[in-house]
């Protein structure tokens, strides 16, 4: 990599950096707040900047410091997280906040950060570099794609991660890791995109082998998508006096600890052949069709609580069950939807 490549990248970053509420602008003398960096990095896992930005602001309004978050009940954190998905992140977020508060602050290096709940290799490197100015190699999906294109790696990323990480280390070797990481993140999000890359605007185009090939979008090669397994289940709407009966899912597993509608287990195979409204939701490893059945009474073996319908948003239903309630409400207004 030519010695001028990283200075060009950083100059481009200083001129075009995205304004993000968790980011300290490049060139600022104000240090980044590790709480803000950590919170944003956890929220941004598998979730877009557009979705995270308003939720991040709301989260900070409610819990401005790590101590505030550590003191909050887990149920409140899960409810606030509702709609962001991947709910293990929220449970780990709360556990991490409590551990950091007990320690008196975040560790400042990758090793210490990796020991905290919910913080893996990438997140530890990002926090160490951005919040504490430590030298680190910060490799997320954007960086993987950029490196694969710079070197025209013609095998899927999953098969070349050690090679990509070694090549990425060269990018971080002679400069401020935090600024380089954020410059690469912006480059991957706005220019070196998965499809339709804007190579004409890229500060690294002159040293990019994929660009030189004439087909930059071909790198890295994409894996063929496989169909997700289909599962099916039933959610029960039990309503009394403008209240809906809710339960809490088991602490571990999918949607762990979240408020939910009672219902059957989710199973493989064919759905029930019944004229019921339904919602379909795609998880990471399978797709679920959930039929919605109105019931008159709560089964004796189920524990839960009655939630007023006009305060349903306070329960923090995850997207799956929020969609199910919306479909039920629509079917109540238009009974023909059930047919």
Active site residues: 41
Cα 52 to Cα 66: distance, rounded to the nearest angstrom: 18
Peptide bond into 220 cis (omega under 30): yes
Cα 293 to Cα 75: distance, rounded to the nearest angstrom: 26
Phi-psi region of 40 (alpha: psi -120 to 50; beta: other; left: phi over 0): alpha
CB 261 within 8 A of CB 239: no
CB 320 within 8 A of CB 255: yes
Q: Which residue, 96, 78, 82, is CA-closest to 41? A: 96
Q: How far is CA 273 from CA 143, 158, 264, 292, 293, in A?
A: 47, 40, 15, 13, 13
Cα 181 to Cα 168: distance, rounded to the nearest angstrom: 10
Neighbour count for residue 6 (Cβ, 10 Å): 22
| β-pairing verdict for 259-260 and 230-240 | unpaired
Residues sharing a CB contact under 8 Å with residue 187, sequence separation 6 or more, in sequence order = 9, 12, 13, 142, 146, 202, 203, 204
């Amino acid at each position: 990599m030519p010695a001028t490549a990283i200075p060009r990248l950083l100059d481009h970053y200083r001129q075009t950096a995205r304004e993000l509420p968790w980011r300290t602008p490049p060139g600022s003398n104000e240090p980044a707040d590790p709480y803000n960096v950590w919170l944003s990095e956890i929220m941004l896992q598998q979730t877009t900047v557009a979705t995270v930005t308003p939720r991040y602001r709301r989260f900070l309004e409610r819990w401005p410091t790590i101590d505030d978050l550590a003191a909050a009940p887990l149920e409140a954190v899960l409810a606030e997280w509702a709609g962001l998905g991947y709910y293990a992140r929220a449970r780990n977020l709360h556990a991490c906040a409590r551990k950091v508060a007990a320690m008196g602050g975040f560790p400042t290096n990758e090793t210490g950060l990796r020991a905290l709940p919910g913080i893996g290799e990438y997140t530890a490197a990002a926090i160490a570099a951005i919040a504490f100015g430590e030298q680190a190699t910060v490799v997320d999906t954007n960086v993987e794609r950029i490196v694969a294109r710079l070197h025209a790696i013609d095998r899927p990323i999953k098969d070349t991660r050690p090679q990509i990480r070694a090549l990425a280390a060269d990018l971080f070797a002679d400069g401020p890791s935090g600024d380089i990481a954020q410059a690469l993140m912006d480059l991957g999000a706005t220019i070196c995109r998965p499809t339709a890359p804007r190579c004409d605007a890229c500060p690294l185009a002159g040293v990019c082998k994929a660009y030189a090939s004439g087909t930059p979008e071909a790198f890295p090669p994409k894996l063929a998508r496989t169909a997700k397994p289909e599962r099916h289940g039933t959610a029960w709407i039990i309503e009394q006096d403008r209240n809906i009966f809710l339960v809490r899912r088991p602490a571990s597993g999918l949607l762990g600890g979240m408020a939910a509608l009672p219902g059957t287990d989710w199973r493989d195979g064919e759905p029930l052949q019944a004229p019921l409204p339904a919602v379909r939701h795609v998880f990471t490893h399978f797709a679920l069709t959930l039929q919605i059945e109105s019931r008159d009474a709560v089964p004796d073996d189920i524990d839960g609580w009655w939630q007023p319908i006009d305060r349903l948003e306070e329960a923090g239903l995850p997207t799956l069950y929020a969609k199910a309630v919306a479909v039920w409400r629509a079917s109540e207004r238009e009974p023909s939807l059930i047919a």
